[in-house]
A = this chain, B = another copy of it.
Amino acid sequence: MTEPSEARERVLQAAAKLFSARGYNAVTVKDIASEAGIHHASLYHHAPNGKEGLFVEVTARTLTQHRDGIAAAVAQYNPDLRRQLSAIAAWLIDQPPLDMIRLIYSDLPAVKPDSAEYLTLLAFESMLVPVAQVLEEASVRGEIAHHDLGSIAGALFSSIESLHTLPDAYLTRPRQAMAEDIIDVFIAGMTPR
């Protein structure tokens, strides 16, 4: 669609950063251009479809990166469930927050229905499905009891993701340490006794 270039990449990264931090509606085209170090009119040279096209493109890219990051964590520590989940948590904590509720209820209603549907599907396939799969494999190995793994995967994912919420005042320990505690509880809770 548009030529790759160093400047375009700066725009995409600025957009990804700001959209991810504040959501579609709280970010202006000027914010993005300013973050990328160019005039906001210049942005349309790199993003002919404007704000909406930019959002769809960088959100898809962010989701794909999450999918790949999670897949790498899963592959690296296979078949050690605890290490797999810790590595997924480390990845999620290292990335900007990915607020699925905001994405679905606030951001996506502002874009074309086709794009919204595409991103919704991509989000679930990138986040929930891989986590559920890791649990499923551990279940097949007999390490955890059979639960509704979709529900549990969602709970685990949002538990880790919510660590981003904590303002520093409430952050008594490193987020990764909190994540380990949460993972411990989940694993213990699913382990047959």
Q: Which positions in A face B, CB cutoff 8 Å?
A: 21-26, 97, 99-102, 104-106, 109-110, 120, 124, 128, 147-148, 150-152, 154-159, 161-167, 170, 172-173, 178, 181-182, 184-190, 193
Contacts and interface: CB of A to CB of B under 8 A. Distances in A.
Contact of A22 (B109, B120, B150, B178): B109
Given A151-B178, A159-B159, A22 B100 contact: no
Q: Interface on chain A toward B: helix, strand, loop, or mixed SS?
A: helix
Contacts of A182: 151-152, 155
Given A23-B102, A185-B185, 17 more contacts: A22-B105, A23-B105, A24-B26, A25-B25, A26-B110, A99-B105, A101-B102, A104-B167, A147-B181, A148-B178, A150-B170, A154-B165, A155-B155, A155-B159, A158-B158, A184-B189, A187-B189
Contacts of A178: 148, 151
Q: Which 3 A-B pairs have the closest CB atoms?
A: A189-B189, A155-B159, A185-B189
A22 to B, nearest CB: 5
19 contacts: A22-B109, A99-B101, A101-B161, A101-B165, A104-B165, A106-B106, A147-B185, A151-B182, A154-B162, A154-B163, A155-B155, A157-B162, A158-B158, A158-B159, A158-B162, A184-B189, A185-B190, A187-B189, A188-B193
Contact of A164 (B101, B161, B185): B101
A151 B185 CA distance: 11
A151 B161 CA distance: 12
A103 to B, nearest CB: 9
A187 to B, nearest CB: 7
A189 B156 CA distance: 13
